[in-house]
Amino acid sequence: MSKNLQVSTTYIMTHLGLIFFLYPTDVIESTNEAHWVTVLFGFLFHLLIIFVYLKGLSYFQGQNIVHILMNKNKLAAWVVLLPVLLYLSWIIVLAVRAFAEVLSIAFLSNTPLWTLMLLLLIIPGFITFHGKIGGLLRLSVLFSFLFVLPVVFVMATSFQNVDWHYLFPLWTGHRSLIFLTHPSFYKSLFAYAGGFLLLGFLPSYAKFKPKAIYWGSLVLLPAYLISVYVPVLTLGEETASQLQFPYLFVVDTIAINWLMFDRINVFLLLSLVAFCMFFIAVTIWQILCIIRLGVKDISPNYLIPSIIMITFIICLCIPDWKTVDRLFQWNTALRIYVATVTPISIWTLGRLHAKKMKNELNNT
């Protein structure tokens, strides 16, 4: 049974949770004008790796990447899988730590940070443990039903104070491409590379058409653009670049007369927390997959609590926001390695596999 809707909502949910926090900061930092070029470049990079990845996967019917890699050379498999595993663990730590910080700033300044981090780990742990992958996929549909409406509402109202003059200049010649030299641009790829690996783990559990993913990514494009352009259009580039979370700041300034709530970023933040919990759950599941299929088939009853415990301890060791930011920066190299090597190696293996099958077919 094909699960196009479930897979594409899962794909959208995992990305939406990452867009609105650090992404605008990094993009605004990486260039002074014509931000759309930066966004589009990142987006095209994203489409490219997804295309290569899906193409590679399509050569192997119903196999996930751990199966594919393990069937070939074990050593070569770990050259690809180990960075993936490391990267996934790294982004769980970063996501939990960063989100706990955001939540603490936004709602619960008196609550100790460790409670928030524990909450952000235990709930995703429960989601993965109780639902397994089928549950995760179904949950994404329920989430999109419940939480996308508030996000769209906030996105629509966030245009309240924009000044469209800030949109210009749209193109500044070769200066528009200056962001390629700035490290922040590569940091901003986090929002694109966070969730795409999931697609490689799904084939053995759910059938889906690549078209569903491309449609899903089209839904994401406006979100990427809005998250960058709303702060720039409202505050101007100079001011926006001074802020830690520019989009959240702009949403906080919106006033709606008829609403009983004073701060509408509550809706946005809460929905994003839900998406982020979902993202963490999905990532835990991917780690689970790699360990169970690649190393040893340990029961999730032990594996999930230990993943949670280890992540929690690492999170506790990160003292402040500066360290989080530095970890993000350090993560860049690994991220680019994972985002390029994994799809390409799957694609190469796929080509070889297809050729071999063809030869075998001709011989018989």
Binding stretches for other proteins (CB under 8 A): 1, 103, 107-108, 111, 115-116, 119, 123, 126-127, 130-132, 134-136, 138-139, 141-143, 146, 259-263, 266, 270, 273-274, 277, 281
Judge contact between 174 and 31, C-beta under 8 A.
no
Q: How far is the CB of 317 from other proteins (least distance, A)?
A: 24
CA trace torsion 309, 311, 316, 321 (10° rounding): -160
Residue 44's alpha-carbon distances to 25, 180, 210, 342, in angstroms, are: 20, 14, 16, 17
Q: How far is the CB of 262 from other proteins (least distance, A)?
A: 5
Q: How far is the CB of 182 from other proteins (least distance, A)?
A: 35
Q: Is the dihedral of CA 282, 287, 293, 297 positive or negative?
A: negative
Residue 92 is classified by DSSP as H
Burial 228-264 (b: 16+ CB within 10 A, else e): bbbbbbbbeeeebbebebbbbbbbbebeeeeeeeebb
Residue closer to other proteins (CB basis): 44 or 146? 146
Q: Which of 287, 251, 241 is nearest to 272 (CA)?
A: 251
- Give backbone dihedrals phi and psi of 207, rounded to 5 degrees, phi first: -85, 140
Residue closer to other proteins (CB basis): 116 or 220? 116
Q: How far is the CB of 313 from other proteins (least distance, A)?
A: 22
Q: How far is the CB of 162 from other proteins (least distance, A)?
A: 24
Q: How far is the CB of 227 from other proteins (least distance, A)?
A: 21
Residue closer to other proteins (CB basis): 132 or 292? 132
Question: In DSSP terms, which residues pair with 2 in a beta bridge?
Answer: 207
Q: How far is the CB of 113 from other proteins (least distance, A)?
A: 13
Alpha carbons 53 and 282: distance in angstroms, whole number? 18
Q: Which of 264, 247, 326, 311 is nearest to 22 (CA)?
A: 247
Residue closer to other proteins (CB basis): 136 or 233? 136
Residue closer to other proteins (CB basis): 153 or 214? 153
Q: Mind spelling out the 3-state secondary structure of 212-230?
A: HHHHHHHHHHHHHHHHHHH
